[in-house]
Amino acid sequence: MALETRIEAAIAEAIAMGQGGDCAGGCVAPPRLASALHYAVTPGGARIRPTILLSVAMACGDDRPVLSNAAAAALELIHCASLVHDDLPSFDDADTRRGKPTVHLAYNEPLAVLAGDSLIVLAFDVLAKAAEQDPRRGLALIRSLACRTGMPMGICAGQGWESEAEVNLSAYHQAKTGALFIAATQMGAIAAGQEPEPWTELGARIGEAFQVADDLRDALYDADTLGKPAGQDEAHARPSAVTEFGVQGAIRHLRDILSGAIASIPSCPGEAMLAEMVRRTAERMTPVAPSTSSKVAG
């Protein structure tokens, strides 16, 4: 599929840049950290955020594919960096991710911290390099990604809420899961020369849906199916749509949110195609109760 190929090529190009591929001689990168960068972004999983980003860009005409590709890669690098840091012993202390050992187990803890840091920096460098094509759009992409990554309202802020005694639940959810989906729709629009604001709601609703779907998977699946530890919401006493609405209620809630997402799509040449993309995303998200359904009853 063309979209997948574009995304994987853009990510591979970004990682090669971080490993020193751009250096005109004389630049030697530390080999294990260079290897950890590649390890942290593969295998790809669904690449759902860059898929949404490119879908929005294409729906808006995608007249600067170099910018859209860079934006897709940068967004996925930030997502992967957040996974590496979230898996650290002081956070989720996860042993597996996408079916293989987490970065701090496959390498070591300092290299996991550094791989995350390097992927964050690389994301902004990839955007700044592509911005030569169109400085105005490039700078808007950098600002949008920074806004949804750091403080006060990006995914760092989202994680930060988990160290608070009193949590602002709306700010927590919007920042923790919503932020990078908002970045996806906004950056897709910006890369194609559109204003980001009309695209905020679509991203926010997809993010909300994704959070509910993730809560469902965490409650319904086992670790082998997830490729990461299961039952983490219960284990860490985190708020979850399953705790709030029950399994069937959460599935209904998920479908309602996605209908709202489709209704929020701004008028654009690729409106129908985008609605179809959201429907496909919804199908991929909605968990099918696994055959070993003991956890559903529990």
Q: What angle, 0 to 180 degrees and rounded to 10, lies between the N-to-C axes of helices 135-149 and 109-130? A: 150
x/- track of binding to a copy of itself for residues 162-181 (CB under 8 A): xxx---x--x----------
| Shortest Cβ 229–a copy of itself spacing (Å) | 17
| Shortest Cβ 235–a copy of itself spacing (Å) | 16
Q: Could you please report the per-residue DSSP string of the chain?
A: -HHHHHHHHHHHHHHHHHTTTT--SS----HHHHHHHHHHH-S-TT-HHHHHHHHHHHHTT---HHHHHHHHHHHHHHHHHHHHHHTSTTTT--SEETTEE-HHHHS-HHHHHHHHHHHHHHHHHHHHHHGGG-HHHHHHHHHHHHHHHSTTTSHHHHHHGGG-SS--HHHHHIIIIIHHHHHHHHHHHHHTT--SGGGHHHHHHHHHHHHHHHHHHHHH--HHHHTS-S-HHHHTT---HHHHHHHHHHHHHHHHHHHHHHHTPPS-TTHHHHHHHHHHHHHHHSPPPPSSTHHHH-
| Shortest Cβ 20–a copy of itself spacing (Å) | 4
Residue 106 vs 262, nearer CB to a copy of itself:
106
Q: Out of 9, 46, 121, 289, point to the residue binding a copy of itself (CB under 8 A).
A: 121
Q: Out of 44, 45, 101, 150, point to the residue binding a copy of itself (CB under 8 A).
A: 150
x/- track of binding to a copy of itself for residues 20-59 (CB under 8 A): x--x---xxxxxxxx--x----------------------
Q: Out of 58, 59, 122, 257, point to the residue binding a copy of itself (CB under 8 A).
A: 122
**Residue 142 found at the interface with a copy of itself (CB under 8 A):** yes
x/- track of binding to a copy of itself for residues 75-94 (CB under 8 A): ------x---x--x-xx---
The Cα–Cα gap between 75 and 77 comes to 5
Q: Out of 96, 161, 225, 231, point to the residue binding a copy of itself (CB under 8 A).
A: 161
Per CB under 8 A, which region of 150-158, 195-203, 225-233, 281-289 contacts a copy of itself?
150-158
| Shortest Cβ 158–a copy of itself spacing (Å) | 8
**What residues line the site for a copy of itself (CB under 8 A)?**
18-20, 23, 27-34, 37, 81, 85, 88, 90-91, 107-111, 113-114, 116-118, 120-122, 124-125, 128-129, 131-132, 135-136, 138-139, 142-143, 146-147, 149-154, 156-157, 159-164, 168, 171
